[in-house]
């Protein structure tokens, strides 16, 4: 069976007219004799409205009921898509995750799909049907609806592609693909034809909003090729695939930025084994994600200054946790908002010397001060003043010849 998985994001199904367009896209694949499995997100704005309702009911709304509530958005979108396909002459129906079923493990609001019962869907495909599957959700061992995190419809599509051995997995969204940097910050941004899983994972983790990092990781582990393309224009998108499939002569593939970071510095921390763990353990227990970490030991070797970054939304909670932590001693706690992280990403830097120098010199030429640095095999990230983000992006984009 020649199967293709098509996933449509919230903006792609945001209105009745857009859903009619989605039905025509599906129709094109049907004409090419594909067996089509469709995955849909909720219509744009619906999930946020449902979350708002839950907050109006209670400040401590049950996670179990949260999943039941927010999963209803996908149900509406899938029903409308199936209804339109039936209208234009195709056999179609919506499938809620529990009807298939799609089984999940883990906590409510952040579960993971671990297996899918394929029997019913395969039979429906063989009978000429087009199943429209609710993304973002499954059913757990207690027979309760569970969701797999915001952006989870991508993960649903990727796992379906794996279990049904689909030839293609295509993510339809409101952009034409993955860009070298944020097109809203520079008109020199260019669409990337092909990008490796590793590069896309770094870009998604560092601010690119096309796909969620967990979805990229699922695709990478299962070697599922993904094409990201627009549901509004008929143009090729971006292929996300393994490195060996890509011919690329650029050192840097893309540049990402985040602007909701804050810097936390503990000055004069007593330097002893376990002190860093004492600082970060309570943050971890409170689901606060720590990113860039820098430690400087004093000349006498008895004290250290420890700096790290977190999301600005977690700043107040982090301050409270650190100040109430009886297991650490420090002379001063410094908190700084209005910082941003700029990252250059590319597998080409593995074999190319001088990339770090070029990045730092480019920023220096623009009088942009670097506050914190972190690196990986295919990424260099720096923390800078938030006001300098656009200037930094444009300069680095030009330096690494991404304008062309």
Q: What separation in angstroms does the CA of 352 have from each of 45, 274, 331?
A: 44, 37, 42
Q: Taking 90 as the threshold, does the pLDDT of residue 362 lie above it? A: yes
Q: What is the band of 169 on the pLDDT scale with cuts at 50, 70, 90?
A: very high
What pLDDT, on the 0 to 100 scale, is given for residue 299?
65
Mean pLDDT within 60-82: 96
Of 269, 270, 314, nearest to 290 (Cα)? 314
- Residue extents of the structural domains in the chain: 3-174, 255-399
Q: What is the band of 160 on the pLDDT scale with cuts at 50, 70, 90?
A: very high
Region at 179 (left for phi over 0; alpha for psi -120 to 50; beta for the rest): beta
In whole angstroms, what is the distance from residue 199 CA to residue 156 CA? 21
Tell me how far apart the terminal alpha carbons of the chain are, to the nearest angstrom: 41
Which tokens is 234 given? 């008929």
- The average confidence (pLDDT) of the chain is 92
Any idea of the CA torsion for 236, 240, 245, 250, to the nearest 10 degrees? Answer: 80
Task: Give the pairing of strands 303-311 and 332-345.
Answer: unpaired
In the chain, what percentage of residues exceed pLDDT 70?
A: 98
The answer to whether the CB of 391 falls within 8 A of the CB of 261 is: no
Strand segments, DSSP code E, in 65-127 are 92-95, 102-105, 112-116
Q: Taking 70 as the threshold, does the pLDDT of residue 207 lie above it? A: no
Question: DSSP per residue over 281-345, as a string?
Answer: HHHHHTTPPP--EEEEE-TTSSEEEEEEEEEGGGHHHHHHHHHT-TT---SEEEEEEEEEEEEEE
pLDDT digits (tens, 9 = 90+) for 270-297: 878 888 899 999 999 888 989 899 888 7
pLDDT digits (tens, 9 = 90+) for 86-108: 999 999 999 999 999 999 999 99
Residues present in the chain in total:
404
Of 353, 342, 349, 351, nearest to 397 (Cα)? 342
**Phi and psi torsions of 359, nearest 5°:** -65, -50
Which tokens is 149 given? 């995190």
In whole angstroms, what is the distance from residue 143 CA to residue 107 CA? 13
In whole angstroms, what is the distance from residue 71 CA to residue 136 CA? 7
Q: According to CATH, what is the number of the domain 255-399? A: 3.30.2130.10
pLDDT digits (tens, 9 = 90+) for 122-159: 999 999 999 999 999 999 999 999 999 877 899 999 99
**Phi and psi torsions of 170, nearest 5°:** -120, 125
Q: Taking 90 as the threshold, does the pLDDT of residue 301 lie above it? A: no
Q: 123-137, 241-255, 324-338: which range is least confident on average?
A: 241-255
| Stronger pLDDT, 248 or 17, i.e. the higher one | 17
Which burial class, exposed, middle or buried, applies to 317 when counting CB atoms under 10 A from its CB (0-12, 13-18, 19+)?
Answer: middle
- Give me the residues paired with residue 340 across strands: 384
Which tokens is 178 given? 């993955």
Mean pLDDT within 180-187: 88
Query: Topology of 3-174 in CATH?
Result: Carbamate kinase (3.40.1160)
Q: What is the band of 40 on the pLDDT scale with cuts at 50, 70, 90?
A: very high
Peptide bond before residue 101 is cis, with ω within 30 degrees of 0:
yes
């Amino acid at each position: 069976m020649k199967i293709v998985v098509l996933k449509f994001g919230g903006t792609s199904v945001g209105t009745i007219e857009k859903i009619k367009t989605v039905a025509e896209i599906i129709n094109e694949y049907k004409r090419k004799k594909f067996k089509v499995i469709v995955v849909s997100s909720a219509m744009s704005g619906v999930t946020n409205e449902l979350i708002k309702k839950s907050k109006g009911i209670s400040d401590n709304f049950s996670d179990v009921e949260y999943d039941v509530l927010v999963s209803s958005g996908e149900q509406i979108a899938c029903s409308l898509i199936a209804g339109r396909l039936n209208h234009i002459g195709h056999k179609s129906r919506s499938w809620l995750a529990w009807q298939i079923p799609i089984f999940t493990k883990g906590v409510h609001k952040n579960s993971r799909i671990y297996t899918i019962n394929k029997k019913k869907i395969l039979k429906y495909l063989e009978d000429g049907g087009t199943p429209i599957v609710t993304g973002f959700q499954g059913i757990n061992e207690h027979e309760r609806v569970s969701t797999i995190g915001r952006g989870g419809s991508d993960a649903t599509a990727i796992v379906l592609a794996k279990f049904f051995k689909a030839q293609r997995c295509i993510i339809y969204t409101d952009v034409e693909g993955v860009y070298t940097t944020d097109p809203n910050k520079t008109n020199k941004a260019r669409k990337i034809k092909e990008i490796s899983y590793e590069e896309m994972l770094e870009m998604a983790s560092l601010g690119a909003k096309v796909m969620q990092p967990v979805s990229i990781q699922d695709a990478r582990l299962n070697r599922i090729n993904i094409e990201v393309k627009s549901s509004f224009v008929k143009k090729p998108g971006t292929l996300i695939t393994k490195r060996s499939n890509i011919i690329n002569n650029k050192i840097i593939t893309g540049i990402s930025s985040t602007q909701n970071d804050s810097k936390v510095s503990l000055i004069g921390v007593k330097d002893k084994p376990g002190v860093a763990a004492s600082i970060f353990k309570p943050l971890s227990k409170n689901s606060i994600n720590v990113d860039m970490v820098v430690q400087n030991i004093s000349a006498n070797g008895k004290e250290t200054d420890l700096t790290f970054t977190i999301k600005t939304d977690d700043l107040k909670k982090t301050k409270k946790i650190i100040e109430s932590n009886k297991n650490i001693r420090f002379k001063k706690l410094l908190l700084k908002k209005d910082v941003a992280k700029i990252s250059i990403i590319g597998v080409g830097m593995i074999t190319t010397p001088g990339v770090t120098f070029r990045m730092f010199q480019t920023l220096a030429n623009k009088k942009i001060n670097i506050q914190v640095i972190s690196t990986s095999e295919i990424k260099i990230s720096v923390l800078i003043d938030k006001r300098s983000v656009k200037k930094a992006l444009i300069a680095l984009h030009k330096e690494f010849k991404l304008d062309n």
